[in-house]
């Protein structure tokens, strides 16, 4: 065999090996993207039977919401996860809350480590939160759905827990969209919208997605139907958070930090434009940007963004790991004074 033929054979062999590796890797990624480790007996389609839930406000007129976000649990048992879960338990033990919102990125996203365990991570969180006999729900983040089960699988898994509440609307994008109506002395006094801000345009690797037009239309119809003050919770912020950060009135006692851009999901301006002057939306509460934190009143409403709640989530060590408590005074008709906010570090 001539030297030239040997070189050609070596090149062909190398290319063949590369193709085999790429095909095998592609097949494995496709398997991980499409498999569901969160098997449960619950049927996700049941969410469409319940577009809204009604909760009662305590006699004193105050309704307390605990928001937990960006815990990035890895397997529920490693050191960082144990610290995170112990911290959440500390917060849950410190006070009785009326509603708990898991505001996205509860588990880590695209992770191929051998000891990554999405099901055990979710199980450790759900068992803990559900044990406090408090209604709780889930607003999907951008990482939760990236591997080993999508957001519909996650919601179906959570539906097995007795205190979990959820809902969705037919023909609206996203895994969760529903209203929580607060009643006080027999009357509707406030509503809470829980929404899916979507993940990425291509699973795990694409640009951040945004809130879609049909979701905006859904929220607009729900708010107009109720015509009461409404607090909106979803995971990824809109560009208006940057405007509120720069020009709003800061809530005293809440740490202010914008280490990373607040306005990098440009397509969420569609949401901002639709609701900029809506008289009923009095709070928009988000998460996602681990080292950013804010609570500012701007243009008739609060824009509140919480930094990470988990030790496995990347972020600036100067920003404490914490959960956020939002208290609504339903007897107050002024959006700027009806809310109080507290962050509990652990």
Predicted confidence (pLDDT) per residue in 3-24, tens digit: 666 676 666 666 756 665 455 4
User: For a pLDDT cut of 70, what percent of the chain falls above it?
Assistant: 90
Provide the b/e sequence for 270-307 (b: ≥16 CB within 10 Å).
bbbebbeebebbbbbbbbbbbbbbbbbbbeebbbbbbb
Q: What is the mean pLDDT of the chain?
A: 93
Predicted confidence (pLDDT) per residue in 121-169, tens digit: 999 999 999 999 999 999 999 999 999 999 999 999 999 999 999 999 9
What are the backbone angles phi and psi of residue 293, rounded to the nearest 5°?
Answer: -155, 135
Burial of 232 (0-12, 13-18, 19+ CB in 10 A): buried
Higher pLDDT residue, 267 or 38? 267
Strand ordering across the sheet containing 62-68: 136-138, 99-102, 62-68, 322-329, 339-345
What pLDDT score does 37 carry? 84
Mean pLDDT of 93-110: 96
What pLDDT score does 50 carry? 86
What pLDDT score does 21 carry? 47
Q: Which of 27-36, 215-224, 318-327 has the lowest mean pLDDT?
A: 27-36
Predicted confidence (pLDDT) per residue in 242-265, tens digit: 999 999 999 999 999 999 999 999
What pLDDT score does 246 carry? 98
Per-position DSSP letters for 59-125, written without gaps between them: TTSEEEEEEE----BSSSSSHHHHHHHHHHHHHHHHS--SEEEE-S--B--S---TT--HHHHHHHH
User: pTM score, two decimals?
Assistant: 0.90
What pLDDT score does 23 carry? 52
């Amino acid at each position: 065999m001539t030297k030239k033929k040997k070189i050609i054979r070596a090149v062909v062999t190398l290319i063949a090996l590369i193709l085999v590796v790429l095909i095998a890797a592609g097949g494995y990624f496709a398997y991980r993207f499409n498999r569901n480790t969160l098997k449960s007996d619950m049927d996700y389609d049941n969410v469409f039977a319940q577009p809204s839930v009604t909760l009662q406000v305590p006699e004193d007129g105050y309704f307390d919401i605990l928001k937990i976000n960006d815990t990035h649990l890895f397997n529920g048992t490693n050191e960082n996860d144990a610290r995170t879960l112990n911290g959440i338990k500390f917060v849950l033990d410190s006070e009785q809350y009326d509603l708990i919102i898991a505001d996205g990125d509860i588990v880590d996203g695209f992770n191929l480590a051998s000891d990554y365990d999405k099901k055990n991570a979710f199980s450790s969180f759900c068992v803990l939160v559900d044990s406090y006999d408090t209604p709780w729900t889930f607003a999907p983040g951008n990482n939760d759905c990236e591997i080993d089960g999508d957001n519909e699988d996650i919601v179906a898994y959570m539906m097995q827990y007795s205190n979990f509440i959820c809902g969705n609307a037919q023909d609206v994008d996203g895994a969760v969209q529903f209203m929580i109506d607060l009643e006080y002395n027999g009357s509707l006094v406030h509503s809470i919208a829980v929404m899916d801000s979507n993940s990425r345009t291509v699973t795990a690797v694409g640009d951040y997605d945004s809130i879609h037009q049909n979701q905006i239309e859904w929220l607009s119809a729900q708010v107009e139907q109720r015509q009461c003050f409404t607090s909106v919770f979803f995971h990824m912020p809109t560009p208006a958070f940057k405007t509120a950060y720069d020009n709003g009135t800061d809530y005293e006692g809440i740490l202010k930090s914008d280490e990373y851009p607040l306005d990098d999901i440009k397509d969420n301006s569609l949401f901002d434009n639709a609701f900029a002057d809506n008289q009923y939306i009095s709070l928009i509460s988000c998460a996602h940007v681990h080292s950013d934190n804010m609570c500012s009143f701007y243009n008739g409403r609060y824009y509140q963004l919480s930094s990470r709640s988990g030790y496995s989530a990347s972020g600036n060590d100067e920003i404490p790991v914490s959960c956020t408590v939002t208290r609504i005074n339903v007897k107050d008709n002024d959006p700027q004074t009806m809310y109080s906010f507290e962050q509990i570090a652990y």
